């Protein structure tokens, strides 16, 4: 039997304030053209595999939209939010594939250090906060903007299925 491979992903985000979960968000992602092309090139054209992936936050200010053509070097519809204590983008540590899916067993945590509003999340191959190099894999937007306070923690899980 022939099976279609349709890659899709979803983010799960818990917002912690004062040690308690005050909100939970689940939302799908879009895998950008650059991400799909990277997978195809690694598998069929011997491009070097990216072994480390990082999660970043998307600021609500200047938000208009994500686009399939977005890259880390060029994404006119959004900007990165850097208002968290971690020195670099936190790493998404993925486990082995099982049942046509990969995910992180331990959440990717962001310690928020300002009062900000975020719109979404992205995954890229560069750990540099605010950096514009590397492969952009995916982007995802919350259903509405999410206001954060200094001292909040975001705990993120990301799953890709095929």
In tens, the pLDDT along 11-57 reads 999 999 999 999 999 999 989 999 989 988 988 998 888 999 999 99
By the 10 Å C-beta count (0-12 exposed, 13-18 middle, 19+ buried), 93 is classed as exposed
Mean pLDDT of the chain: 94
Selection from 134, 161, 162, 129 nearest residue 48 by Cα: 134
For the chain, how big is the Rg over CA atoms in Å?
Answer: 16
Cα dist. 127→12, 19, 69, 95, 131 in Å? 20, 27, 21, 19, 8
- Provide mean pLDDT across the span 138-151: 97
**pTM given for the model:** 0.93
CA 23 to chain centre: 18
Contact 138, 33 (CB under 8 A): no
Q: What pLDDT score does 53 carry?
A: 96
Contact 112, 153 (CB under 8 A): yes
pLDDT band at residue 4 using 50, 70 and 90 as cut-offs: low
d(CA 148, CA 153): 9
Q: What pLDDT score does 43 carry?
A: 87
**Paired sense of beta strands 8-17 and 153-161, if any:** antiparallel
d(CA 122, CA 92): 11
Token reading at 162: 């095929």
pLDDT band at residue 143 using 50, 70 and 90 as cut-offs: very high
> Which residue has better confidence, 155 or 1?
155
Q: Which helix (H) or strand (E) holds 39?
A: helix 33-44
Dump pLDDT digits (tens) for 105-127: 999 999 999 999 999 999 999 99
């Amino acid at each position: 039997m022939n099976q279609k491979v349709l890659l899709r992903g979803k983010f799960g985000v818990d917002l912690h304030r004062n040690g308690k979960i005050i909100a939970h968000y689940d939302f799908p992602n879009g895998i950008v053209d650059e991400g799909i092309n990277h997978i195809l090139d690694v598998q069929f054209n011997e491009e070097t595999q990216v072994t480390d992936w990082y999660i970043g936050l998307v600021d609500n200010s200047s938000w208009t939209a994500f686009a399939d053509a977005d890259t880390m070097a060029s994404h006119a519809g959004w900007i990165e939010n850097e208002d968290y204590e971690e020195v670099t983008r936190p790493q998404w540590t993925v486990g082995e594939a099982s049942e046509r899916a990969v995910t992180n067993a331990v959440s990717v945590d962001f310690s928020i250090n300002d009062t900000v509003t975020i719109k979404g999340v992205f995954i890229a191959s560069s750990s540099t906060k605010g950096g514009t190099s590397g492969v952009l894999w995916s982007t995802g937007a919350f259903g509405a903007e999410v206001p954060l306070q200094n001292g909040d923690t975001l705990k993120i899980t990301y799953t890709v299925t095929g």
